[in-house]
Amino acid sequence: MKHHIAIKVAGPAGSGIKSIGLMLQKSFQRLGLFTFGYTEYPSLIRGGHNTFQVDVSVKPVNSSTQKIDILLALNPESISLHADELNKNGVIIADKSIVPADTSLLKKQNIHLIDLNIKEILEKNEIPLIMQNSLQLGVIMAICNLGLDSLYEAIDWTFEKKGDDVKNNNKKSASIGYTLVEGTSKDIDFSIIPPKTKKDTMVITANEANGLGFIAGKGQFYSAYPMTPSTNILHYLALHGPERGIVVRQASNEIEAIGVAMGASNGGVRAMVGTSGGGMDLMTEFISMLGIAEIPLVIINAQRSGPATGLPTWQEQSDLNMAKYAGHGEYPRIVCAPGDPYEAYVMTQECLNLADVYQIPVIMLTDKHVAESFYTTPKFPHPIPINRGKLIINEEDIKEKPFLRYSLDTPDGISPRTVPGLKGGIFLASSDEHSQEGYSTEDGNVRIDQQSKRLKKNEAIIKAINNFEYYGEKDADVLIISWGSTKGAIIDSITELNEDKSSKKFGFLQIKYLFPLNYEKLSKLASKYKKVILVENNSTGQLLPDLRLAGINPDSMALRFDGKPFFKDELVDEIRNFKLTKGN
């Protein structure tokens, strides 16, 4: 009996790895099991090696493990690359044609082999070879002892638009695979029993959640230039935006994306841009302009490995410094990072509100891991209330005559803004320092007044946002501090450790809103723990300066920057033993 099984599908790019992985997740989800789908792929369309790992569990699972139980290999390379990752008594499922002639090494490692003559079987049953994946999925369902119903549902879901022939043949293929393996070997048993009560869940990535959050937040203008791993926000909104009244515009570069979005936002519609680090580099001059012209905008940076092109399709969280400091000059902004798709959905809406209320750029950092991994999350809640702040969209609401867009008569530093088209609300939104009307000035006193007005917003912002979330044991010995997508592996790790009586007790402080940061509160939160570990998916630990400003000196750091996320089994080992990670 298993509580957790890790299944890796591996093969050449272009062979439908992702589709197999998603069908697996759907099959398990329908049974009430929890899954986590993690994909690795090189920056190639064809010819590279792709994997999709599905971790399935009877309890919520938010990360992958390094070690796997089942390897579905679609080419010989997949066996040689991943056989070492298999746990004892693990199994390789593969077509006979790709299995190495000498399997003694596998046997020595206690690895079982299910090698099938798939081509022959399918030919005999008059099923096109293209449907071999369903046969293999049938095999997996059999060794997990889960029946075929949920796989059939997943087939219907996957081939919704393909017609009954395709669905039926795939089901037939699946049932052949199931029957071939069912009960044939007592050694191969990955039986897993789904929980009795089924929760309302979704399987989704943060990219899609960002898109849904934008729709829920009544966003109306999205522009982006394609860049991995942010591109699926563009794809999602391009597909679903028009029916929701959203203009989705592919820009010719990131400068255009943000410049046009700024114009639309200044025109009164909620706007957002999405990119990765390299694209945000290009956007920085306009982030600075948003600062002085006090124009709201949400900027999503789905981080990937840098510097420059780095490892373009791999994980890293190294743009925190950039998000906090990009763009010349001094002006208020907010930087946040959701830890999973559920938070990405809610926080996208929060970001739209914060941008509108404070008339500032709000930067959301996601990363390859959260943006492209398939999480099982509770069903998304209803949209949060919209708050557009001091936006005036009706002429009768303009009280001042003449209207002063950058009025100093404001205790919180936020002046009412109108939108073009309103009589009596004319203003100039300027990249220059400006008077209350927006007119250019080089008068030092006016400059001081306007700069002070803008910076005043920081006081209100720090009160309005909740920087932290706490998870784990109340009276923990060790506090882990982190931000962003590391949340999944950390939660899974400390859950396991806290259940282990021999282990120290762990707590986790997630910094969701990273800037501006309430140092006093951070200091208070962290001070009662004996040990503090900083966990980040980068090589330097970009939270360190903040922690030190709060008087916290981490006892240890777990840093990972090989392009991969933290895996649960590995992180458990590291934090249990306070081991410093590779590279340090």
Total of chain residues touching another protein, rule CB under 8 A: 65
Q: Which position among 32, 226, 383, 541 is part of the footprint of another protein (CB under 8 A)?
A: 383
**Smaller CB distance to another protein: residue 272 or 320?**
272
Q: How far is CA 322 from CA 303, 329, 335, 365, in A?
A: 11, 14, 10, 10
Query: Does 475 help bind another protein (rule: CB under 8 A)?
Result: no
Shortest separation between residue 378's beta carbon and another protein, angstroms: 11
**Is 426 among the residues that bind another protein (CB under 8 A)?**
yes
Q: List the structure tokens of 249.
A: 């515009």
C-beta of 539: minimal distance to another protein in Å? Answer: 33
From 115, 153, 156, 256, residue interacting with another protein (rule: CB under 8 A): 256
Q: What residues from 261 to 280 belong to the interface with another protein (CB under 8 A)?
A: 261-269, 271
Does the footprint of another protein cover residue 425 (CB under 8 A)?
A: yes
Q: DSSP per residue over 477-534, as a string?
A: SEEEEE-TTHHHHHHHHHHHHHH-TTSPPEEEEEESEEES--HHHHHHHHHT-SEEEE
CA 336 to CA 511: how far, in whole Å? 8
Measured between alpha carbons, how far apart are the two ends of the chain, in Å? 39
Is 233 among the residues that bind another protein (CB under 8 A)?
no
| Structural contact between residues 574 and 581, judged by C-beta atoms closer than 8 angstroms | yes
Give the Cα separation of 203 and 379 in Å (integer): 9
Buried b (16+ CB within 10 A) or exposed e, 82-104: bbebbbeebbbbbbeebbeeeee
Q: Decide if residue 259 touches another protein (CB under 8 A).
A: yes
**Which segment (68-76, 136-144, 251-259, 305-313) binds another protein by CB under 8 A?**
251-259
Helix (H) / strand (E) containing 545: helix 544-549
Question: In whole angstroms, how close is the CB of 23 to another protein at the nearest point?
Answer: 14
Residue 155 makes CB contacts below 8 A (sequence gap 6+) with 23, 134, 167, 170, 171, 174
Verify binding: residue 421, another protein, rule CB under 8 A.
yes
Binding-site member from 18, 67, 112, 218 for another protein (CB under 8 A): 218
448 touches another protein (CB under 8 A): no
Q: At 356, which amino acid appears? A: D
Instruction: Yes or no: say if 239 and 268 are a contact pair by the CB < 8 Å rule.
Output: no
Interacting positions 182-211 with another protein (CB under 8 A): 200-204, 208
- CB nearer another protein, residue 247 or residue 464: 247
Query: Judged by CB under 8 A, does residue 310 bind another protein?
Result: no
Helix (H, G, I), strand (E, B) or coil at 555: coil
Q: Does 243 bind another protein (CB under 8 A)?
A: yes
Nearest distance in Å: CB 133, another protein: 21
Is residue 350 at the binding interface for another protein, with CB under 8 A as the rule? no
Does the footprint of another protein cover residue 238 (CB under 8 A)? no
The angle formed by the CA atoms of residues 410, 414 and 418, to the nearest 5 degrees, is 105
Smallest gap, in angstroms, from Cβ of residue 144 to another protein? 22
* 343 scored as a contact of another protein (CB under 8 A): no
Asked if 332 touches another protein (CB under 8 A), the answer is no
Q: How far is the CB of 416 from another protein (least distance, A)?
A: 15
Strand 112-116 and strand 86-95: the pairing is parallel
Q: Which residues of 18-44 are buried (b: 16+ CB within 10 A; e: fewer)?
A: bebbbbbbbbbbbbebbbbbbbbbeee
State which residue, 106 or 246, has the beta carbon closest to another protein.
Answer: 246
Of 118, 144, 215, 335, the one binding another protein by CB under 8 A? 215
Peptide bond into 312 cis (omega under 30): no
Query: Is residue 325 a contact partner of residue 446, using CB atoms and an 8 Å limit?
Result: no
Positions in the binding site for another protein (CB under 8 A): 200-204, 208, 212, 215-216, 218-221, 240-247, 249, 252-253, 255-256, 259-269, 271, 285-286, 289, 293, 379-380, 382-383, 393, 419-432, 437-440
